[in-house]
Amino acid sequence: MISLLVVDDERSMRDFLKILLVKEGYEVETAPDGKQALALLDKQAFDLVITDIKMDGMSGLDLLNSIKEQFPALPVVMITAFASPDDAVFAMKNGAFDYISKPFNVDEIKTVIIAATSKTSALAEAKSISAQFPEIIGESREMIKIFEMIQRIAPTPANVLIYGESGTGKELVAQAIHRLSQVAEQECVPITCSAIPEELMESELFGHVKGSFTGAISDKQGLFQLADKGTAFLDEIGELTPIIQTKLLRVLQEREVKPVGGTKVQAVSVRIIAATNKILEDEIMAGRFREDLYYRLAVVPLRVPPLRERKGDVPLLVDFFLKKYSKAFGKEIQEISSYAMEVLMKYDFPGNVRELENIIERGVALETSNIILPESLTLSSFRTSKTNPSIPELSPFQIVASEDELFERGLEEVMAETEKLFLNTALEKTGNSKMQAAELLRISFRSFRYKIKKYELG
Ligand SMILES: Nc1ncnc2c1ncn2[C@@H]1O[C@H](COP(=O)(O)OP(=O)(O)OP(=O)(O)O)[C@@H](O)[C@H]1O
Ligand SMILES: [Mg+2]
């Protein structure tokens, strides 16, 4: 139930609002002044405060300031007199969620309350759903969508194709789907398609009978027999060779397997969770992946977004990895400096969560103080991502990891590397047009040409 605190020094107004809002289904407390309001806020959690501005003693604006200090996330709606629009402007500047001016109509106040509380309830919902996935850190809208999707599809037998860049957490998502599935008590049998040579792949997937090839010294069960009536996790599915793709498709269609060298088929029922960091549609277009197999696997396609599309999760992940590695390395580091955090927020993580984890692991190992400073962050050199159309802001820490490194390599070398990266970025963005690249960098065509010759960039 959503609880509201109404603050007004006029009794009739308090009573009017209370009756109105209780009828709307809210839980309502009232306070006659700012002091008593703050006392109530100390005792009880509210979702929204509605306060008059003009009150004797502590004004509504003073109350707003105190609330923003002590409960920064709590929305506050101000009631202003129609005649004083300046108060409203001032309140908004000081963090009020919105204001309504007296005399107000009932619909207006209802709309404002719904707007103010739906934000908090969305946040609470995000927290409660992400709590059900303690191993997957994230409260961004993108991750919430993934959690909801996992909850919806996990109990069904539908095959799932998880795709996304390397290091985004596809394997964690696959495990979570299995954990919430009907067959969770069985093992989820994994296989990494890229790690197995084609000659062995068929036997790994479907098993073999003794003597079917050199080295087949006994009958062997394949993935499909082992995972029967359960889940199989096919990682890096984009690496399957055409022959194996065809055989796998047949198994999925017929729901039966024949071991290598065998004559009898066995009925199997396996739910497949596949993962890939390739865009399979592109692989299909290029003739490298069978379209019919794709549709069998991607009954539910699930995209795990790259970390740069959910930067809001970076602080949570940093916190999680700091705790993990502080503990593992027996250190007391619980914090990261705000400048170091800023550096991370600007970075675009080509290696996604795995890269962030490595950065923090290394940072904890290197740091000698009890707070991570930018100097302890080693980001891979400045990179522009193809999917990010704007030229990323340059941070010196993206070229060199630390002041020490800068001094060691010298300004000349570091500046040259910076220059090279920008020249390359400009060339890439303009499809190798030197004229446009020079324009983009705001230097003359002649000096651009001189520089790319100097660095042998083409
Ligand atoms: N949201 C997350 N919360 C906590 N840890 C994460 C998260 N996402 C990824 N990780 C960690 O990052 C690393 C990489 O994750 P994972 O192996 O699932 O990535 P992947 O998408 O399968 O990558 P690849 O395509 O390279 O196989 C793992 O150590 C994993 O625990
Ligand atoms: Mg993986």
C-alpha 155 to ligand 1 mean position (Å) = 23
* pLDDT (average), residues 3-12: 95
Residue 330 has pLDDT above 90, yes or no: yes
Per DSSP, the three-state class of 372 is: strand
Residue 318 has pLDDT above 50, yes or no: yes
CATH code 3.40.50.300 region(s) in the chain? 141-303
Residue nearest to atom 25 of ligand 1 (CA): 166
> Would you state the pLDDT for residue 384?
36
CATH code 1.10.8.60 region(s) in the chain? 307-395
b/e per residue 259-291 (b: at least 16 CB within 10 A):
bbebeeebebebbbbbbbbeebeebbeeebbbe
C-alpha 354 to ligand 1 mean position (Å) = 6
Residue predicted with more confidence, 437 or 402: 437
Regarding the beta carbon of 167 and ligand 1, being less than 6 Å apart is answered yes
Q: Class for domain 3-126, per CATH?
A: alpha beta
Rounded alpha-carbon distances, angstroms, from residue 300 to 106, 110, 255, 349, 444: 45, 40, 19, 27, 52
Residue 67 has pLDDT above 50, yes or no: yes
Query: Whole-prediction pTM value?
Result: 0.68
Residue 391 has pLDDT above 50, yes or no: no
Amino acid at 107: D
What does the pLDDT look like over 408-422, one tens digit per residue?
778 888 888 888 888
Mean of the per-residue pLDDT values of the chain: 89
C-alpha 224 to ligand 1 mean position (Å) = 25
- What is the torsion angle, in degrees rounded to the nearest 10, for the CA atoms of residue 279, residue 281, residue 284 and residue 286? -70
Residue in 118, 119, 60, 55 with CA at minimum distance from that of residue 94: 60
Fold type of domain 307-395:
Helicase, Ruva Protein; domain 3 (1.10.8)
C-alpha 174 to ligand 2 mean position (Å) = 9
Q: What are phi and psi of 335, to 5 degrees?
A: -140, 160
Q: Cα-atom radius of gyration of the chain, to the nearest Å?
A: 30
C-alpha 419 to ligand 1 mean position (Å) = 33
CATH code 3.40.50.2300 region(s) in the chain? 3-126
C-alpha 26 to ligand 2 mean position (Å) = 47
> Would you state the pLDDT for residue 398?
63
Gap between the Cα atoms of 365 and 68, Å rounded: 38
Regarding the beta carbon of 172 and ligand 1, being less than 6 Å apart is answered yes
Q: 77 has which bridge partners?
A: 50, 98
Residue nearest to atom 27 of ligand 1 (CA): 166
Gap between the Cα atoms of 246 and 234, Å rounded: 15
Q: Choose the weakest-confidence range: 10-24, 188-202, 276-290, 406-420.
A: 406-420
* pLDDT (average), residues 377-391: 52
CATH 3.40.50.2300 correct for 141-303? no
**The domain at 410-458 falls in which architecture?**
Orthogonal Bundle (1.10)
* pLDDT (average), residues 249-262: 95
| DSSP annotation string for 55-89 | -SSS-HHHHHHHHHHH-TTS-EEEEEETT-HHHHH
Regarding the beta carbon of 188 and ligand 1, being less than 6 Å apart is answered no
Regarding the beta carbon of 358 and ligand 1, being less than 6 Å apart is answered no
Residue to substitute in 145, 177, 303, 357 for testing ligand 1 pocket (most ligand atoms within 8 angstroms of CB)? 357
Residue to substitute in 353, 359, 360, 361 for testing ligand 1 pocket (most ligand atoms within 8 angstroms of CB)? 353
Note the residue count of the chain: 458
CATH code 1.10.10.60 region(s) in the chain? 410-458
Regarding the beta carbon of 137 and ligand 1, being less than 6 Å apart is answered yes
